[in-house]
Amino acid sequence: MAAPAQTLFDKIWDSHVVRRFEDGRDMVHVDRHMLYEITSMEAFRALATAARRVRNPGLSAATVDHMVATRPGRDEATFAPGREFIRALRANAKDAGIRLFDLGDADHGITHVIAHELAIVLPGLITVCGDSHTCTLGALGAVAFGIGTSDVEHVLSTQTLVLSKPATMRLTINGYLSPHASGKDLVLAILGQIGADGATGHAVEFRGAAVDALPIEERLTLCNMAIEFGARIALVAPDQKVFDYLRGRRFAPKGARWTQALIAWRALHSDPAARFDREVRIDAGTIEPMVTWGTSPEDAIPISGRVPDPGSFAIPEIRAAKRHALEYMGLVPGTPIEGVPVQTVFIGSCTNGRLGDLRAAARVAQGRAVAAGVRAIIAPGSAAVRRQAEAEGLAEVFRAAGFEWHEAGCSLCCAVGGELVPSGSRCATTSNRNFEGRQGSGARSHLVSPATAAAAAVRGRLTDWRRLED
């Protein structure tokens, strides 16, 4: 009798189940555990209080990325509030025997950037981290998700988690993106269509011609923001692009192990007859550069669009929320979103701090200058991205245009490390969240792609970057 058809998610999850409980929950083995300085400190403290040791330190890796300054020449003391966290992680990692990518390390960077850049995470693995954007790494064909502090402690001490298996959803993206639309524009368009709760409680698999055509870095962006429409887990089936991307990276299998890994990885796809709990389809062909207008990533419209009227929303609670969002953002219904002035531009984060993102921004910035009154910051996602961008001349393009060229770290994505958008100021940002206060108390954030962010920097207002090409 043939085995029942399975989704990619089912294949990975079921192969990791250590024990099934009567209440329906599963104990699953965790292959990789990424740590950073904020959520790990309390977990290590709880571990010490319980007199427990780290069970398998070789399956964990750590970095400092949130509470670190990114200004050139920074060290652990540049952002004073972060020093205690950095020193604690350094001491805990050393005591446990966990590899730490510290400030100054050649492989230092944002957790969800170095994890794929170094091939710490591989197809078919279950990977966790105390950060919700761990779903980024599903672009490699891994089951990756964020966990809370108590779960961080549990993984450190047992290398397992006890969880309810989520439902599955297939999000098929038909057609192809135009040359002027990126993975960031795609995921913002998805958010605009299905909303911030469109995949709540599901493990989402992205598929379709548009997904196949995306470079790996843009697939990472797509998976990164799946959490913004409620998906805790996001996956793309690994293909030759993934294999080529991973080949030769620091922790990727070598020699005969690589050959064996490829055999296993090529089986990582949903069976043709596999059934999903939900099916959603999106057309990529009409997507243009996108921008958010409100205080949720679902508040996304094309750059050619106008700020919506809260009265157009049918549900009273949503009408009230959108009315409040417009008041916070200082916008009026019917206003064309293109032309809204900005005072800050941020290009970076685990969403758009990769080399391809910087190349896209540099193409727009080349030969132009940051507009008067605008502060524009570039914070690469890792030290390796920074070095390569400098080697390619991208950093010089940015510096010549008037951008600040920073070190790797989360920076303005979440207003840590000492960088803030002033209250009442408006920021075009390539990060993943535009919540109230996300980039500083009273800051007004517009989520955009790297190319759109660069165009906003040189024009001083939200701009359709296609106009600059013309």
- DSSP secondary structure letter of residue 75: -
Point out which residues pair with 173 in neighbouring strands. Answer: 282
Q: Compute the distance between CA of residue 346 and CA of residue 112 in angstroms, rounded to an integer.
A: 18
CA distance 417 to 82: 7
Nearest-angstrom CA–CA distance, 412 and 131: 17
Which regions of 156-201 does DSSP assign to beta strands (E)? 160-164, 167-174
Dihedral angle of Cα 319, 324, 329, 333, to the nearest 10 degrees: 40
Tokens of 48: 């010490």
Residue carrying structure tokens 């470079």: 215
Contact 173, 284 (CB under 8 A): yes
pLDDT at 376: 98
The predicted structure's pLDDT at residue 262? 98
Query: Can you give the pLDDT at residue 3?
Result: 78
- C-alpha–C-alpha distance, residues 335 and 323, integer Å: 14
User: CB of 347 within 8 A of CB of 361?
Assistant: yes
Question: In this structure, what is the dihedral angle of CA atoms 221, 123, 30, 28, given to the nearest 10 degrees?
Answer: 100
> In the numeric block, which tokens belong to residue 434?
């535009």
Sole residue written with tokens 């079921």: 14
Q: What was the pLDDT predicted at 308? A: 97
Tokens of 417: 């490390």
Whether 218 contacts 356, CB under 8 Å: yes
Contact residues for 455 (Cβ-Cβ < 8 A; gap 6+): 364, 463, 464, 465, 467, 468
Q: How far apart are CA 458 and CA 253, in angstroms?
A: 44
| Residue 442 in tokens | 């009273």
Looking only at the bridges linking them, the beta strands covering 160-164 and 25-29 are antiparallel
Q: Which two tokens stand for residue 266?
A: 């090529």
Q: How many CA atoms lie within 13 Å of 326's alpha carbon, on the beta-carbon side? A: 17
Q: Where are the extended beta strands (E) located within 284-384?
A: 290-292, 300-302, 344-348, 375-379
Q: For the chain, which domains are there?
A: 9-165+240-264 (3.30.499.10), 167-237+270-283 (3.40.1060.10), 291-465 (3.30.499.10)
- Chain Cα centroid distance, residue 87: 26
What is residue 439's three-state secondary structure? coil
β-pairing verdict for 126-129 and 32-35: parallel
Please report where in the chains the tokens 């043939």 appear, as a residue.
2
Cα separation, 229 vs 299, whole angstroms: 11
Q: What is the mean pLDDT of each run of 10 residues along the chain (470 residues)?
A: 88 98 97 96 94 97 97 94 96 98 98 98 98 98 97 98 98 97 98 97 97 98 98 98 98 98 98 97 96 98 98 94 98 98 98 98 98 98 98 98 98 92 97 97 98 98 90
CB 89 within 8 A of CB 35: yes
How far is residue 369's CA from residue 392's CA, in Å, rounded to a whole number?
A: 19
